[in-house]
Structure 1
Amino acid sequence: MPRGGKKGHKGRGKQFSNPEEIDRQMRAQKELEENPGAEKGSSESEEESSSDDESETKKRSGVEGLIEIENPNRVSQKSKKVAEVDVSAPRELSRREREEIEKQKSKERYMKLHMEGKTEQARADLARLAIIKKQREEAAKKRDELRKEKEAEEAKSKR
């Protein structure tokens, strides 16, 4: 029974390469390897291609050789030597670090204004304190008056 059941297989049939075609491709590839600048024909292009070959020491496989890929995630990290690292250069802060510093500065600014009494909350606090002071003064006066009255009564009762 055929592979796909009664209806037959839906896939393509097998294709075999022509041996003459394979030989022709092999010869063309060997010529390119022996004479890399033969197709370009100019000495400048030969120098450029040789510098390109030097920069690309890694052999590309599969589709990589056909397509130029600019994927920043695929770039290999090059380690720096200790002598190359510049310690005096300013370091870029991360977003979280910048936000944290900003937050601390704004808090310090607010506290400075608060101590000077220029913020809404400071004004409200000062008003509340003034009211409390008045109440305490009035309470102290009443206590003094009551104490004086008691002393006067005690003096009258002793006489």
Structure 2
Amino acid sequence: MPRGKYTNHKGRNRRFTNPEELEEQRRKDEQERRWRQQRGDESSESEEEEDEADKKKASGSKTRGDDDSGSGSEDSSESENSDEEKAKGVSNLIKIENPNRVQKKVKKLSTLNEDLVSQKPQLSRREREEIEKQRAQAHYQKLHAEGKTEQARADLARLAIIKQQREEAAKKRDLEKKQKEEALKAKTAQTQKALGKKT
């Protein structure tokens, strides 16, 4: 026991209900329900049945006495289920339903191989994004080659302007070349004339 002002009293007086007490309480509820049913108190009976159904769902187990309870259609379905569910030992008293439990399913080798062959390989998010990116890039390149994208149109317009400028520059160069040749001919002609030579 720790010395000091504060002590922890958690878990000291825990009391768990006996299965016998639970069974006795259930029997009392069943007798009460039957008594009300005999009196003709229908509204209280339906409430009791709902309470009992809730208790069954909460406990998750079936006892032998539960097969007696319920109305006509429920009796027939429960009696059929109880015959199928009966097993050896305490397995019919305790029914475990664990939602986290994974039951292994036996598969045939032939079906397993077919599943593996027919199934597409699972790709991660990054791989899928990378493949999608490559597809988009290829599609863009195709449209660009056809000249359908904005960038391709701008490039073609720029190319047309450049071609026109080059043609004009080439014409200008040809003109200048012809003028230089004519100027050179005129100069040589003048020098020869000055020298007195005839051509």
TM range (shorter): 0.5 to 0.7
Please tell me the residue identity of whatever aligns with 2:158: R
- Going from structure 1 to structure 2, the CA distance change for 1:39 and 1:82 (only over 3 Å counts) comes to closer
The question of 1:4 aligning with 2:3 is answered: yes
Please state whether the residue corresponding to 1:88 is helix, strand or coil.
helix
Match of 2:86 among 17, 24, 46: 46
Mapping for residues 6-155 of structure 1, pairs under 5 Å: 7=5, 9-11=7-9, 39-40=63-64, 42-47=82-87, 68-70=98-100, 84-86=112-114, 87-91=116-120, 92-155=122-185
Please tell me the residue identity of whatever aligns with 1:85: N
Q: Larger Cα Rg: Structure 1 or Structure 2?
A: 2
Whether the aligned pair in 2 keeps the contact of 1:4 and 1:10 (CA below 8 Å) is: no
Name the residue aligned to 1:156: 186
| Higher relative contact order (Cα pairs below 8 Å, separated by 6+ residues) | 2
Q: Aligned-pair distance for 1:15? A: 6.0
List gaps (5 residues or longer) in structure 2. Answer: 21-61, 68-81, 190-199
Which deviations, in whole Å up to 9, do the C-alpha atoms of 1:18-62 show, x marking residues without a partner?
A: xxx8xx9xxxxxxxxxxxxx9448432225x89x89xxxxxxxxx
Q: Aligned Cα RMSD in Å?
A: 4.1
* Stretch moving more, 108-117 or 80-89: 80-89
Which deviations, in whole Å up to 9, do the C-alpha atoms of 1:66-112 show, x marking residues without a partner?
A: 773438xxx5999x897633342131433333322222222222111
Which deviations, in whole Å up to 9, do the C-alpha atoms of 1:113-151 show, x marking residues without a partner?
A: 111111110000000001111111111111111111110
Aligned length: 123
Give the fraction of aligned pairs with identical amino acids, expressed as a percent. 46
Q: Work out the CA distance in 2 between the residues paired with 1:77 and 1:153.
A: 102
TM-score (norm 1): 0.56
Name the residue aligned to 1:33: none
- Going from structure 1 to structure 2, the CA distance change for 1:67 and 1:132 (only over 3 Å counts) comes to same
Name the residue aligned to 2:77: none
Q: Work out the CA distance in 2 between the residues paired with 1:44 and 1:158.
A: 126
- Going from structure 1 to structure 2, the CA distance change for 1:39 and 1:122 (only over 3 Å counts) comes to same
